[in-house]
Amino acid sequence: MASGIFLLMLNAYAADLAAEAFARGKTAFERRDFALALDAFEQAHQQFPSDERYTLWAGRAAGRMAESAGPLRAFSLARKTRRYFEQSYALNPRNPEVLADLAEFYEKAPGFMGGDAGHARRLRDELKVLEPAGASPSAGTPPASP
Protein backbone atom coordinates (compact mmCIF):
# COMPACT_ATOMS: atom_id res chain seq x y z
CA MET A 1 0.00 0.00 0.00
CA ALA A 2 2.74 2.45 0.90
CA SER A 3 4.56 1.77 -2.36
CA GLY A 4 1.38 2.56 -4.31
CA ILE A 5 1.02 5.90 -2.57
CA PHE A 6 4.69 6.63 -3.18
CA LEU A 7 4.26 5.91 -6.90
CA LEU A 8 1.24 8.21 -7.07
CA MET A 9 3.19 10.97 -5.37
CA LEU A 10 6.17 10.42 -7.66
CA ASN A 11 3.92 10.56 -10.73
CA ALA A 12 2.31 13.79 -9.49
CA TYR A 13 5.75 15.30 -8.89
CA ALA A 14 6.88 14.35 -12.41
CA ALA A 15 3.70 15.87 -13.84
CA ASP A 16 4.38 19.11 -11.92
CA LEU A 17 7.97 19.26 -13.18
CA ALA A 18 6.77 18.63 -16.71
CA ALA A 19 4.15 21.37 -16.45
CA GLU A 20 6.78 23.84 -15.22
CA ALA A 21 9.15 22.94 -18.06
CA PHE A 22 6.28 23.22 -20.55
CA ALA A 23 5.41 26.70 -19.27
CA ARG A 24 9.06 27.76 -19.62
CA GLY A 25 9.06 26.37 -23.14
CA LYS A 26 5.92 28.26 -24.14
CA THR A 27 7.41 31.49 -22.78
CA ALA A 28 10.65 30.92 -24.68
CA PHE A 29 8.70 30.05 -27.85
CA GLU A 30 6.71 33.28 -27.58
CA ARG A 31 10.02 35.17 -27.25
CA ARG A 32 11.19 33.31 -30.38
CA ASP A 33 14.02 31.63 -28.44
CA PHE A 34 13.34 28.31 -30.12
CA ALA A 35 16.49 26.57 -28.88
CA LEU A 36 15.56 27.30 -25.26
CA ALA A 37 11.96 26.31 -25.99
CA LEU A 38 13.05 23.01 -27.51
CA ASP A 39 15.19 22.24 -24.48
CA ALA A 40 12.30 22.97 -22.11
CA PHE A 41 9.79 20.91 -24.14
CA GLU A 42 12.25 18.00 -24.22
CA GLN A 43 12.59 18.26 -20.43
CA ALA A 44 8.81 18.19 -20.09
CA HIS A 45 8.64 15.11 -22.31
CA GLN A 46 11.33 13.35 -20.27
CA GLN A 47 9.41 14.02 -17.06
CA PHE A 48 6.02 13.00 -18.41
CA PRO A 49 6.35 11.12 -21.71
CA SER A 50 2.66 10.25 -22.09
CA ASP A 51 1.52 13.83 -22.81
CA GLU A 52 1.47 14.50 -26.56
CA ARG A 53 1.53 18.28 -26.06
CA TYR A 54 5.16 18.16 -25.00
CA THR A 55 6.33 16.36 -28.14
CA LEU A 56 4.03 18.47 -30.31
CA TRP A 57 5.59 21.69 -29.05
CA ALA A 58 9.10 20.21 -29.24
CA GLY A 59 8.38 19.53 -32.89
CA ARG A 60 7.14 23.06 -33.40
CA ALA A 61 10.29 24.51 -31.81
CA ALA A 62 12.56 22.25 -33.86
CA GLY A 63 10.66 23.25 -37.00
CA ARG A 64 11.11 26.93 -36.25
CA MET A 65 14.82 26.38 -35.67
CA ALA A 66 15.07 24.57 -39.02
CA GLU A 67 13.69 27.64 -40.81
CA SER A 68 16.82 29.67 -40.10
CA ALA A 69 19.43 26.89 -39.96
CA GLY A 70 22.03 26.02 -42.55
CA PRO A 71 21.33 23.06 -44.85
CA LEU A 72 22.87 20.29 -42.73
CA ARG A 73 21.40 21.54 -39.48
CA ALA A 74 18.04 22.13 -41.16
CA PHE A 75 18.02 18.51 -42.34
CA SER A 76 18.72 17.27 -38.82
CA LEU A 77 16.08 19.55 -37.30
CA ALA A 78 13.50 18.55 -39.92
CA ARG A 79 14.02 14.91 -39.00
CA LYS A 80 13.63 15.83 -35.33
CA THR A 81 10.47 17.79 -36.13
CA ARG A 82 8.96 14.81 -37.95
CA ARG A 83 9.96 12.42 -35.17
CA TYR A 84 8.33 14.59 -32.49
CA PHE A 85 5.16 15.10 -34.52
CA GLU A 86 4.93 11.36 -35.20
CA GLN A 87 5.43 10.63 -31.49
CA SER A 88 2.62 13.05 -30.67
CA TYR A 89 0.40 11.30 -33.20
CA ALA A 90 1.24 7.90 -31.67
CA LEU A 91 0.32 9.22 -28.22
CA ASN A 92 -2.97 10.78 -29.35
CA PRO A 93 -4.05 10.31 -32.97
CA ARG A 94 -7.30 12.18 -32.26
CA ASN A 95 -5.70 15.49 -31.25
CA PRO A 96 -6.59 17.95 -34.04
CA GLU A 97 -3.49 20.09 -33.45
CA VAL A 98 -1.26 17.05 -33.79
CA LEU A 99 -3.01 15.98 -36.98
CA ALA A 100 -2.81 19.47 -38.48
CA ASP A 101 0.87 20.01 -37.67
CA LEU A 102 1.94 16.55 -38.86
CA ALA A 103 -0.09 16.96 -42.06
CA GLU A 104 1.48 20.36 -42.66
CA PHE A 105 4.94 18.90 -42.15
CA TYR A 106 4.25 16.12 -44.65
CA GLU A 107 2.86 18.68 -47.13
CA LYS A 108 5.71 21.19 -46.93
CA ALA A 109 8.81 19.07 -46.33
CA PRO A 110 10.64 17.75 -49.37
CA GLY A 111 10.58 13.97 -49.72
CA PHE A 112 14.21 13.55 -48.67
CA MET A 113 13.36 15.33 -45.40
CA GLY A 114 10.32 13.18 -44.71
CA GLY A 115 7.61 14.95 -46.69
CA ASP A 116 4.87 12.72 -48.06
CA ALA A 117 1.80 14.06 -49.86
CA GLY A 118 -0.10 10.78 -49.43
CA HIS A 119 0.39 10.80 -45.66
CA ALA A 120 -0.66 14.44 -45.57
CA ARG A 121 -3.92 13.67 -47.42
CA ARG A 122 -4.75 10.80 -45.06
CA LEU A 123 -4.16 12.99 -42.03
CA ARG A 124 -6.28 15.80 -43.49
CA ASP A 125 -9.06 13.24 -44.04
CA GLU A 126 -8.77 12.13 -40.39
CA LEU A 127 -8.89 15.77 -39.34
CA LYS A 128 -12.10 16.40 -41.30
CA VAL A 129 -13.80 13.60 -39.39
CA LEU A 130 -12.74 15.07 -36.04
CA GLU A 131 -13.54 18.72 -36.73
CA PRO A 132 -16.85 20.40 -37.24
CA ALA A 133 -17.07 22.30 -40.52
CA GLY A 134 -15.18 25.57 -40.41
CA ALA A 135 -13.29 24.87 -37.20
CA SER A 136 -9.55 25.40 -37.18
CA PRO A 137 -7.47 22.86 -35.22
CA SER A 138 -4.62 25.11 -34.34
CA ALA A 139 -6.23 28.50 -34.12
CA GLY A 140 -3.87 30.74 -32.25
CA THR A 141 -0.90 28.41 -32.52
CA PRO A 142 1.85 28.96 -35.02
CA PRO A 143 2.31 26.23 -37.60
CA ALA A 144 5.55 24.28 -37.50
CA SER A 145 7.57 24.03 -40.61
CA PRO A 146 10.23 21.61 -41.76
Asked whether residue 98 is assigned to any structural domain, the reply reads yes
Higher pLDDT, 143 or 113: 113
Q: How far is CA 5 from each of CA 11, 19, 46, 49, 60, rounded to the nearest angstrom?
A: 10, 21, 22, 21, 36
Asked whether residue 144 is assigned to any structural domain, the reply reads no
pLDDT for residue 96: 95
User: What residue numbers bound the domain in which 20 lies?
Assistant: 2-130
**What confidence category does residue 7 fall into, taking pLDDT thresholds of 50, 70 and 90?**
low
pLDDT for residue 5: 76
Asked whether residue 141 is assigned to any structural domain, the reply reads no
Q: Which of 48, 85, 49 is nearest to 66 (CA)?
A: 85
- Of all residues in the chain, what percent carry a pLDDT higher than 70? 84
Asked whether residue 37 is assigned to any structural domain, the reply reads yes
Does the pLDDT at position 34 exceed 90? yes
Give the CATH number for residue 28: 1.25.40.10
Is the pTM higher than 0.85? The answer reads no
> Residues 47-65: pLDDT tens digits?
999 999 999 999 999 999 9
Q: How many helices and strands (H and E) does the chain possess?
A: 6, 0
- Number of domains making up the chain: 1
Higher pLDDT, 143 or 46: 46
Does the pLDDT at position 114 exceed 60? yes
Which residues, other chains included, contact 126 with Cβ-Cβ below 8 Å and sequence gap of 6+?
93, 99
Asked whether residue 137 is assigned to any structural domain, the reply reads no
Asked whether residue 146 is assigned to any structural domain, the reply reads no
